[in-house]
Amino acid sequence: MAKSGKVVQLFQKPENFIKSRARELELGHCYITEEWEETGIANILVSRKHTNGNFTLGIYLIDLKCLGIKDTMFKFNVTDEELDYFADYVGGNEIEYNEVHNIIYGAEAFAKDCGFKAHKDWTITQFILEEDNDRIPLIDVEFGEDGIPAYYVGPNDSPAKVNQILATLDKHVGQGNYLFYNDEDEFEDDEIIEDDNEQSFKQIYYTFTGAYRDKFGESETATLDKDHIVEIWGQKVDCGLYSLNDELDDRIIECAEEYESIFEDKSVESISQIHALLIKNPDMPLFYAELFLQYKMVGLHGKADAIAKKGMQLFPDFLYLRLYVAHAAMIDRELKKGLKLLNNNYKLDEAFPKRTAFSEGEFMLFYAALCQYFIAKGNLINAIICSDALIAEIYKYACSENAVLDLLAQVKAKLGEVY
């Protein structure tokens, strides 16, 4: 205690010190990867010198082509020997601070326009940099390729991650307005579909559905509002694959990748394995969805319904599971059950009015289920309106692909041999 009776704070957490006082420290040397201009990837180190001679460091992994601040961390109150070590780590080439400032903040702004957030620790490490204001001179730095976002698949980018990034670019930049490179050829054809094949399929799709509209559009009643679906996609759909909760979405993606071989097995053994995983990880809703599907595949419909009911009770906000079950009901031609799970509504936002936004996967499952519903009802005009919403991501979601293919089979059959 001090004599005044106030507690003297002898230590401040590094994160709090950086946020409140790092900018008061003298700027030290800055370093950057040697070939950053050629590769578009830069490891950057910015140092601040303490009065005791030690340094606090901000380290940043920057993608100037598209993704912005992919990673960042800090090192607090390190020695000059440790500074030298980290300088060698990033490349060891010294650079003026003002150029570094323009690279980092410029990449962060460019990525934000493409729909990508900076790494979570940017909330701390940005305070090792100077404030981004008019005191820092603007330096011309190229972002993207001639200003066009260019996504290069990284060595650690899983198929699910690639799909997520492409979906974000489609939403925020628009298809055809960015460059995509997968020179490593890391994935199988069924994981990343070549643009030419996808484009050819879409041409076939629009040829058949266009012919169907021309021939039967007046005789079949369209009760769906296509403009409303487009509005939902543009204004209320976020980039999450399974959930709007970014942390949960990342956990589910990691879980899906880790246990992919088990999920694909569809056997009594895989059911036992998933059940064991569910017991060990009761907070993972994906296991309920996968166990539901596995039970359905082997004909244990009673158990499938029971596990689905339990999962929906435990995770009422995990709409993906509810829509998963609704989609399965439509496939099984349990149409009343499926429509009830959609709250007897053809509009996603009105079916779930408490939700102000939806993940991409939720959107796709809802309209895939509706597409199957209208196929079963024989109203192919409404089914086409649904599939028009699915075709944008035809190979990304199995529910979308299956619904569109089922629809095309019905369309071709009804058109006869004309095409």
* 3-state per-residue secondary structure call for 303-342: HHHHHHHHHHHHCCCCHHHHHHHHHHHHHCCCHHHHHHHC
How far from the centroid of its chain's Cα atoms is residue 222's Cα? 33
CA distance 170 to 115: 10
Q: Are 166 and 180 in contact (CB under 8 A)?
A: yes
- Please give the C-alpha separations between residue 207 and each of 271, 408, 419, in angstroms, as whole numbers: 42, 10, 9
- Tell me which amino acid residue 83 is: L
Q: H-helix or E-strand containing 264?
A: helix 260-265
Question: Are 220 and 379 in contact, with CB atoms under 8 Å apart?
Answer: yes
pTM: 0.53
Average pLDDT of the chain, as a whole number: 84
Give bridge partners of residue 152 from the DSSP assignment: 181
Give the containing element (helix H, strand E) for 372. helix 360-377
Domains and CATH numbers, the chain: 22-192 (no CATH), 197-415 (1.25.40)
pLDDT given for residue 398 in this prediction: 83
pLDDT digits (tens, 9 = 90+) for 175-205: 888 888 875 443 333 333 344 455 567 778 8
Query: Can you say how many angstroms the Cα of residue 114 is from the centroid of all Cα atoms in its chain?
Result: 13
Cβ atoms of residues 344 and 353 within 8 Å = no
Please compute the mean of the pLDDT values over residues 137-166 and round it to a whole number.
Answer: 85
For residue 257 the two structure tokens come to 């990748």
Give the Å distances, CA to CA, from 364 to 80, 286, 394, 399, 406: 54, 17, 10, 7, 15
pLDDT tens-digit map of 278-303: 899 888 988 998 888 888 887 788 88
Across 184-278, where does the E strand assignment appear?
none
What is the per-residue pLDDT across 364-400, written as a single tens digit (0 to 9) for each?
A: 999 999 999 999 999 999 999 999 888 877 777 888 8
pLDDT of residue 368: 94
Q: pLDDT tens digits for 263-278?
A: 887 777 888 898 899 8
Reading across the β-sheet that carries 41-49, which strands appear in turn? 68-78, 55-63, 41-49, 26-32, 93-94
Pairing verdict, β 150-152 and 41-49: unpaired
Beta partners for residue 45, in sequence order: 31, 59
- CA torsion sign for 203, 208, 209, 213 is positive
The two three-digit tokens of residue 68, written as one number: 């912005």
